[in-house]
Structure 1
Amino acid sequence: MDFKRNPDTHFKGIDKLGKKEATEEIRALREGINYHDHLYYVKDSPKISDAVYDKLFQRLQDLEEAFPDLKTGDSPTVRVGAEPVSQLKKIKHKVPLLSLQASLDEKNIESFLKTACKKANSQSVKYVLEPKFDGLSVEVIYEKGRFKYGTTRGNGEVGEDISHNLKTIHALPLSLQHRDDAPATLAVRGEVFMPRDGFMALNKRRVERDEEPFANPRNAAAGLMRQYKSRQVAGKPLSLFFYEILALDGEQPPNHQEVLDQLSRWGLKTSPLNESAFSLKQIENYHRKLAEHRDHLDYEIDGIVIKVDDHSLREALGTRDRNPRWAIAWKFEPRKEVTQVEDIAVQVGRTGILTPVALLQPVDVGGVTVSRATLHNEGEVQRKDIRVGDRVRIIRAGDVIPEVEERVKQRGRKRGKIFKMPKRCPVCNSKVVREGAYHLCTAGLSCAAQLSGHIQHYAARDAMDIDHLGEKAADQLVRREMVHNLADLYALDTNDLKSLDGFAERSATQLYVAIQGAKKPRLDRFLFALGIPRVGRKVAKQLAGEFRSLEKLADASEGEIAKISGIGSEVAAATANFFADDNNREVLERMRKSGVRVQSMPRRGKQPLKGKTFVFSGGLDKMTRDEAKERVEALGARTTSSISGETDYLVVGEDPGSKLDEAEEKGVKRLDKKEFLKLLGNS
């Protein structure tokens, strides 16, 4: 039974099949469908019609329904979506997923090449050139040639399990080709992306359904990959390219070109634009060629990646803390276009910062229709002298966020009025104050424009850590006027939450329990959660450590706050103004009446590590790096991210980076995990 070359779609009745016959047909169907998936999604050269493919797929679904014990986790039918997961689990990567040093400056590329040649003691080094994809970086694990799981990059050391969504992407093989030669365990790195035509079609549907369109293909791909329900992802226009073997049982190929060849042999899609080079001139030609053709590709790229081919030379070059020394990204100049400013609106952000936004005649900027662009602040508008009616050049900053780069002069045309920021908030009519370059709405927790963002920030992992309270839920709570301030969150019941789109009995109960469970926060987390202007996590810790209770901080004067070491006058003013506002005090009192009890910070004990500076490298078994930093900071120490002459200790965990070498060069004492825990115990 062969469904590869000339598939026969005249099938025997399922009721006439025995289990042995069904097992053989299911095996052949899976093999045939995987073969045609590879031709269509990876090789771009289909051999059968869509109608024939659909018949094969439907037959497989029917057989697996009739013989459910024969369905397996790597069957092509899993691509239609599975049961939703309750959360995205955290998984540690096989090896750290490093980020790339990126540059727009050709001089930095020359310097990179010189370093590689010097280390190789050669005038010429072979490089592999690849497009720099603008997508979502993922790690994919195969065991015995079968897909095991896949994760996001996360923080480089730990990612989120998105296996259920990756399985829906047809370009991802659930079983490797030539599986008999595959290592027992294989970890590969790739980039999930959304093709441009699929992105435009998806956004059109979202606009038709009165939903917020995705800003760009990268955001669309990342948003879909982090969905709990894979049925919402199945069928969406997603694909991926693979470009690195991270780890495997056995020997790595000796160079990167052979890695790419091996990935292709296993059926893992690699970019057809990859090339080799031996000189700066060849690299310049490749960079120019891709820059000229990027708008004709069906996916977004924002530069090229230059990689040393020889793995032994890579090992000699080593890595920095966050990126390898054997690879660099040479970015393209951002796309620029010219259009007209129809109006200048003022947007109120989560923290109350007012931002002028140019409303534009829609313009295509690198395949993306842009109808608005940020002007940052009043000073920026005046410096660039932007007025309503002006012609302006739009740039996608970082190749993503549209902003007005400059005004295009028009001779003989009368210009509009000079722009000025409003004195009252355009949303709640509260007073607007200026702090440095920015203008702020003083309403704080009671400004409707800030509320959805306040809720999302309040619920964030580093703040109150309220699961299931994301952007969609927050927007609905505000839009339906179910929540007018943060205190209203604690008055919601499961029936209220069940009325939200996308919520059922179980998810509503989970969110209710999560909200009610967030009633005893530690002071520093609560201060950060409130979204006080200029009070980030570090400042929140400083304030909490100094005042220890919410009541003492709320009653403190601006002068008392400013006395704290490291707290500037702007932070002190923003904090004092926040707690002096009657509306904010009313919200905090209502939260107290709802049962919110902010936990005072514990008294500082002895500080035996005062004056010591710690740096961490690698993972620790018994605690996260942030927890380890908190432990030593509580004992009086200071933590930094880089080795310097002031560093006293380098704590070395699993898979340490280049800091280990730097510590040895500078004579910094190193502590392994056991020694570090002993130091904490003794302190």
Structure 2
Amino acid sequence: MATLDEATLALQQLKQRIAEYDYHYYVLDDPLVSDNEYDGVYRELLSLEQQHPHLITADSPSQRVGGLALAAFESVHHRQAMLSLNNAFSEQELEAFDRRVREGTGEAEVVYAVEPKFDGLAITLTYEYGIFVQGATRGDGYTGENVTHNLKTIRAIPTRLALNQPPALLEVRGEVLMLKKDFEKLNQQQAIAGGKLFANPRNAAAGSLRQLDSSITAKRPLHFFAYGLGASEGIPALHSHAEAMQYLADLRFPVTPLRAVKTGAEGLRDYYAEIGEKRGSLPFDIDGVVYKVNAFELQETLGFVSRAPRWAIAHKFPAEEAVTMVEDITVQVGRTGAITPVARLKPVFVGGVTVTNATLHNEDELRRKDIHIGDTVVVRRAGDVIPEVVSVKPELRPADARLFVMPAVCPECGSHIVRPQDEAVARCTGGLICPAQRKQAITHFASRRAMDIEGLGEKLVDQLVASHLVSHLDDVYRLDLPTLAGLERMAEKSAQNVLDAIEKSKQATLPRFIYALGIRNVGEATAKDLAQYFGNLDALMDADVETLMQVNDVGPVVAEAAYQFFQEPHNREVIAAMRALGVHWSDMPRKNQSALFAGKTFVLTGTLPTLKRDQAQAMIEAAGGKVSGSVSAKTSYVVAGTEAGSKLEKALALDIPVLDEPAFMTMLQSSAGLIPPENEIDTLAETSSTQPGLF
């Protein structure tokens, strides 16, 4: 236990630190420390004051509620104080709260109203005879800031109560906050405009509500949830917090659907666990749950301490932010080949778990945050989200801190790492041999629109990879009956069916095989364009970027991705191995660039008298044209059948030529040899990509 002199000095230092933190957090909206650091300092002060209660002074943070009102806003004196809540951080503290309530009320078991603890800005709304006349922040709990004009920009807050005989006075207490998705969008807009980035949704909401120009607040996506009543005159008799919340809901105030009524400490524990599980999926941030004695009569019996009500407590979740050190930075390879820098951290407890790694997203983000190996950083974890580094404490950077340099080759397979043009993410080019991408590559290769290997789905792929039976695509064609039949939940008949599908897939088409390779940004339509342009795989594999860009709809990003894929020796080796194992296809006649439909885009809509969609599409493509699923100014022709609908209407509105089936066939016949023989139409149609909504 500290001596009196030591305690006096320590308390003075702690009060100064907390005052500085409060000023930056509540007044300037620019927090100096994380919530976790603040709570640690505050609890240290409370512990010392409990040991030396005679040292508690009126200026202690334990004797006040919040921050000072901003001088720029008119001060508002609250009719009824907006006090803070005491916090519980453990199950033992929760049980102690329930015990105090039972002892204070004489009840054997207490009923509680429970709700999430929003991480926003507390406000009070004043209504006189049903008209919204004033809105204010909590401030120091007794005097707040008049932000009426700003609150009126929040559409969730009614300006008039939907009552024929509204009460003379109604004060509604609640929280202004910003949804997670809106916060991300706002920060993106701030970054583009070169403005200040907000640390979290709570700061964004507070900064938005405290704008002197309400037109700025109006542009910010703020939300509001009511959580209680203040002073009132002329409202119906209400006997509990649950009744008050229903009354607010009936008045069309937004109230949380997550509120509930629970009995005893066991009920509180269950609710804490339930909301904890939902926390990561909620659209807004919460930092705990709130327990309130439900009956107003019991609340009056319990009363208040100087800082908080005895009948309520906030049960905080484990800290979502913590401070630690970056011991190293490495990279992680994702299932699509994305290379993500990862901070290897000195272990720290945050968000309920011990965190040792945190994502740095990409090289640009790493540079923007100026993260060095050896830095002290703030780490955030919300729910089940992967931990991330929020910010750096540059003042604590050691002299030997080092910049991280992105590797040139993949740590998993040794393939080259490239960063595509106009993309933030670097990628491994070893798609067919990279262990990190193995399952994704095999599953895609076997999918219906690729090589169509029925039965070779995700579960079987997982087993094959886990058993080290398949490492690369060519290994699929080395599987035999005893091997497959020996797998868990794989009978001999099922194994034989898979082998038959594998054997059948050897007779491929060139577009299917190109698509099955999983080249980034190369979908079915692009694979078909590449096959038709080059005619055979070898020509495609040897093409440079400039040549690839001559293909219809292939731009620099796709051309670079295809070029890098085929330049990787490992990928060529896998392709060669599959061909040696019997995978084959017929070369395609190269698309006639001077054909009648070259450079033309068609849209098919409605039901044609004799042609199926795939047949019509195959004819158009054989004539050098392209089929699209939607009508635009770039559409050359619309081929319309019965029940054509909105696409036909749009074509007419844009003055695009419309053809029925006879006119379409006449156009084809006008160029000799463009209509394939009937037995070839179905073959061509099989390689056509199915586009929903064409008919």
TM-score by length of 1: 0.45
Q: Output the TM-score relative to the length of structure 2.
A: 0.44
Mark the structure with the bigger radius of gyration.
2
